[in-house]
Amino acid sequence: MSKVEHYEVSDDKLVRKKQTCPKCGDGVFLAEHSNRVSCGKCGYTEFKKKEKPKKEKKVEEAPVPETGAPSLFDE
Ligand SMILES: [Zn+2]
C-alpha cells in the first residue's frame, strides 16, 4: 500500500523536474517555453509534445445491449 504512495510521489517529482540537456548532460537545465524547451548553453531545442493521457482510453464504442436474449441473427 505504501508502495503505491511512494510511486505517486516519485512520479510527481519526475513530472515537475526540469529537463536536463542531453548534449550538455546533467546539471544543465533546459529553459522552459510555452511549447518547447531549449538549452541556453548549446542551443539544443526540444519541442514539447502535447500531453495526452495515455492511461485514459476512451472506450466509447457502440454500447452492446445486454438483453440476455439469444441472438436472432444466426450466421
Ligand atoms: Zn546544452
Report pLDDT digits (tens) over 52-69: 666 766 667 777 777 776
Which residues of the chain form beta strands (DSSP E)?
Answer: 20-21, 25-29, 31-32, 36-38, 45-47
Ligand 1 centroid to residue 36 C-alpha, Å: 14
Going from the Cα of 32 to the center of ligand 1, the distance in angstroms, rounded, reads 13
Question: What is each CA distance from 14 to 8, 20, 22, 63, in whole angstroms?
Answer: 10, 12, 16, 38
pTM: 0.44
Asked if residue 34 has pLDDT above 70, the reply is yes
Whole-number Å distance, alpha carbon 7 to ligand 1 midpoint, is: 30
Q: What is the mean pLDDT of the chain?
A: 75
Residue whose C-alpha cell reads 531545442 in the numeric block: 45
Tell me how far the alpha carbon of residue 33 lies from the centroid of ligand 1, in angstroms: 15
Residue 25 pLDDT level (bands cut at 50, 70, 90): very high
Is residue 74 scored above 80 in pLDDT?
no
